[in-house]
C-alpha cells in the first residue's frame, strides 16, 4: 500500500499564508530577479531530520531527501525522494528558473503537477505548487546562517478547511 498522499501533502504542498506574509518582499521589482546560483546556499543534498517532525504530522516517512542542482542557463533542478515506511519511493523532479513562472513537474505528480519558484533573498526560496492549474500549496524554504540547516515552512488546510503551518528541518548531507 503506498504511503497516504494526505500525509505526503504536508511535506510537498502548503497554502498561501506564508506567501502573503512574504508578499511585501516578493512585490519589490528587485525581488523578482533570480539569485545567482554560485552564491546560493541551497545547492546540495538535504535530508529530513525525522527526530524533529511536528507532533501533529502523524507517522513519518522513512526518509526524505531534497537535491538542488544548478543545471546552467539560470536554471535549477530539484529532485525529491520520499521513502515510505514500507520502503517504496516516490520520486519527483522539476527544472526551473527562480522567476515566478510555472513549469511542469516530472515523476510522481500525485500532489502537484507544476510549480513556480521565487527567491526574494539568497537564503529564501518560495515555491507555489499547483495541481490541474489550481493552487495546491505554498512552501517557504530558508537556509540557516551557517548553511547546515534548511527549514521548510509548509502550510495547508486540514479536512475542515482550517489553515495550519508546520516546520520541517533538513540537514545538509553535501
CATH number, domain containing residue 144: 2.40.128.20
Domain count, the chain: 1
pTM of the shown model: 0.78
Question: Does the structure show a pLDDT above 90 at 155?
Answer: no
Give pairs for 26-35: CB < 8 Å, separation 24+. 26/100, 26/118, 26/120, 26/126, 28/120, 31/118, 31/120, 32/99, 32/100, 32/118, 34/74, 34/97, 34/98, 34/99, 34/119, 35/98, 35/119, 35/121, 35/122
- For 41-57, the pLDDT digits (tens) are 999 999 999 999 998 88
- More confident position, 136 or 77: 77
Is the pLDDT confidence value at 122 over 70? yes
State yes or no: pLDDT of 26 exceeds 50.
no
Q: Which residues span the domain enclosing 33?
A: 5-172
Amino acid at each position: 500500500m503506498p504511503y497516504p498522499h494526505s500525509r505526503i501533502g504536508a511535506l510537498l504542498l502548503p497554502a498561501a499564508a506564508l506567501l502573503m506574509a512574504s508578499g511585501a518582499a516578493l512585490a519589490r521589482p528587485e525581488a523578482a530577479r533570480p539569485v545567482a546560483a554560485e552564491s546560493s546556499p541551497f545547492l546540495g543534498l538535504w535530508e529530513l531530520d525525522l527526530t524533529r517532525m511536528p507532533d501533529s504530522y502523524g507517522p513519518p516517512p522513512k526518509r526524505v531527501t531534497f537535491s538542488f542542482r544548478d543545471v546552467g542557463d539560470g536554471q535549477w533542478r530539484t529532485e525529491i525522494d520520499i521513502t515510505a515506511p514500507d520502503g517504496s519511493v516516490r520520486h519527483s523532479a522539476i527544472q526551473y528558473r527562480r522567476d515566478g513562472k510555472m513549469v511542469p513537474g516530472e515523476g510522481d505528480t500525485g500532489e502537484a503537477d507544476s510549480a513556480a519558484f521565487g527567491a526574494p533573498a539568497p537564503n529564501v526560496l518560495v515555491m507555489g505548487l499547483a495541481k490541474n492549474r489550481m493552487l495546491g500549496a505554498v512552501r517557504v524554504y530558508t537556509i540557516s546562517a551557517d548553511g547546515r540547516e534548511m527549514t521548510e515552512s509548509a502550510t495547508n488546510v486540514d479536512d475542515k478547511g482550517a489553515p495550519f503551518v508546520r516546520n520541517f528541518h533538513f540537514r545538509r548531507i553535501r
